[in-house]
């Protein structure tokens, strides 16, 4: 099966990922020979986005299975991949599917990894088209973090919907939150929108409320890293604040995500584990080295603040 997307590919028999830490200044592809290498890339955010890390982990485990490795060792690698990042449930779902195929041998393992890849491509198209129906001609849209082809194996989630609306002929303008502290909006979403030719404006995260008050934002669209049973949504830190602002200004707030992001085992958002990352990501060489830092990578938007959640087959 051909593996070839914006952010992950198989070329000359080798699994490769686009190093997202170098964008937008450099487009460098890195070969991933085994699970340990993929874990490193996931944790340093060279590969990121809830759907994509599940796909990437599955493909990396299949690469590992091609070598001289016992079933027990392969199971251990799968569990190490599963724990690489704690918030995005797509990774756990993908690894659970892969572990269930270990007894079937290499062919079954490879087939499942490729099925996970193909499924994400399909889910992206379906949810993007479904969510695009809620975007109107002339809308000013606001999005947070990166939810396009760099975060999935396909066209993306929220950014995929924006892309679908644009390709259908709707005249839209996208306001891109820079997304502190790692600037996924500034570095990645602006890069994707530029390649797609979609009109956009980069803003600081703190400018979003002013845009809403001025009537320049008609819709906020974001992705998700985990959705609890009650509809609470964990996503990139700053999403909760945007949801509060959108509610106050009467702006629709739509979450676009695949069903692989649902976690019925989490009854509410309070049960979702929130990853805390390196303080240096916030200090950034600007704050005094001894300055204490709190750096959660995600926050939780309560269902009451969300207008709708759009999956590939339904919205609620």
pLDDT in tens, the chain (316 residues): 999 999 999 999 999 999 999 999 999 999 999 999 999 999 999 999 999 999 999 999 999 999 889 999 999 999 999 999 999 999 999 999 999 999 999 999 999 999 999 999 999 999 999 999 999 999 999 999 999 999 999 999 999 999 999 999 999 999 999 999 999 999 999 999 999 999 999 999 999 999 999 999 999 999 999 999 999 999 999 999 999 999 999 999 999 999 999 999 999 999 999 999 999 999 998 999 999 999 999 999 999 999 999 999 999 9
Residue at which a domain ends, from 65, 99, 125: 125
Please say if 225 is a catalytic residue.
Answer: yes
CATH code where residue 86 lies: 1.20.120.420
Number of compact structural domains in the chain: 2
- 2 lies in some domain: no
- 81 lies in some domain: yes
Q: Is 97 in the same domain as 13? A: yes
Question: Contact 143/158 with Cβ under 8 angstroms?
Answer: yes
- 102 lies in some domain: yes
Residue at which a domain ends, from 125, 149, 180: 125
Q: Which of 19, 205, 225, 263 is catalytic?
A: 225
For Cα atoms 300, 238, 233, give the angle at the middle one, nearest 5 degrees.
25
Question: Contact 244/212 with Cβ under 8 angstroms?
Answer: no
Report the alpha-carbon distance of residue 38 to residue 267 in Å, rounded: 30
The answer for residues whose C-beta is within 8 angstroms of residue 78's C-beta and 6 or more apart is 35, 61, 95, 98, 99, 102
Report the alpha-carbon distance of residue 166 to residue 199 in Å, rounded: 9
Residue at which a domain ends, from 125, 160, 181: 125
Q: Is 196 in the same domain as 218? A: yes
**Residue ranges making up the domain that contains 47:** 8-125
pTM above threshold 0.75: yes
Q: What is the DSSP letter of 59?
A: H
- 176 lies in some domain: yes
Give φ, ψ of 257 to 5 degrees: -155, 155
Q: Is 268 in the same domain as 213? A: yes
Q: Is 238 in the same domain as 289? A: yes
């Amino acid at each position: 099966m051909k593996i070839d997307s914006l952010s992950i590919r198989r070329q000359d028999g080798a699994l490769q990922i686009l190093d997202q830490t170098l964008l937008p200044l450099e487009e460098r592809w890195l070969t991933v020979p085994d699970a340990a290498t993929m874990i490193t890339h996931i944790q340093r955010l060279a590969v990121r986005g809830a759907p994509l890390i599940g796909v990437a982990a599955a493909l990396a485990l299949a690469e590992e299975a091609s070598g001289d490795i016992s079933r027990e060792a392969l199971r251990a690698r799968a569990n190490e991949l599963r724990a690489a990042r704690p918030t995005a449930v797509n990774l756990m779902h993908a690894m659970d599917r892969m572990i269930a195929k270990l007894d079937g041998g290499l062919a079954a393992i490879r087939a499942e990894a490729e099925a996970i890849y193909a499924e994400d491509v399909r889910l992206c198209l379906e949810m993007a088209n479904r969510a695009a129906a809620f975007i109107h001609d002339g809308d000013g849209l606001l999005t947070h973090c990166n939810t396009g082809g760099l975060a999935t194996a396909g066209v993306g989630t929220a950014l995929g919907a924006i892309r679908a609306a644009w390709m259908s002929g709707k005249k839209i303008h996208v306001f891109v939150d820079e997304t502190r502290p790692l600037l996924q909006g500034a570095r990645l979403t602006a890069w994707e929108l530029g390649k797609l030719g979609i009109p956009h404006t980069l803003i600081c995260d703190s400018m979003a409320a002013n845009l809403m008050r001025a009537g320049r934002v008609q819709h906020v669209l974001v992705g998700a890293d985990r959705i609890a049973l009650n509809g609470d949504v964990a996503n990139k830190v700053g999403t909760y604040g945007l949801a509060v602002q959108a509610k106050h200004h009467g702006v629709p707030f739509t979450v676009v995500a695949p069903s692989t992001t649902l976690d019925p085992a989490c009854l509410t958002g309070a049960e979702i584990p929130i990853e805390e990352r390196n303080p240096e990501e916030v200090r950034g060489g600007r704050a005094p080295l001894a300055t204490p830092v709190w750096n959660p990578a995600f926050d939780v938007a309560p269902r009451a603040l969300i207008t709708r959640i759009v999956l590939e087959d339904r919205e609620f």
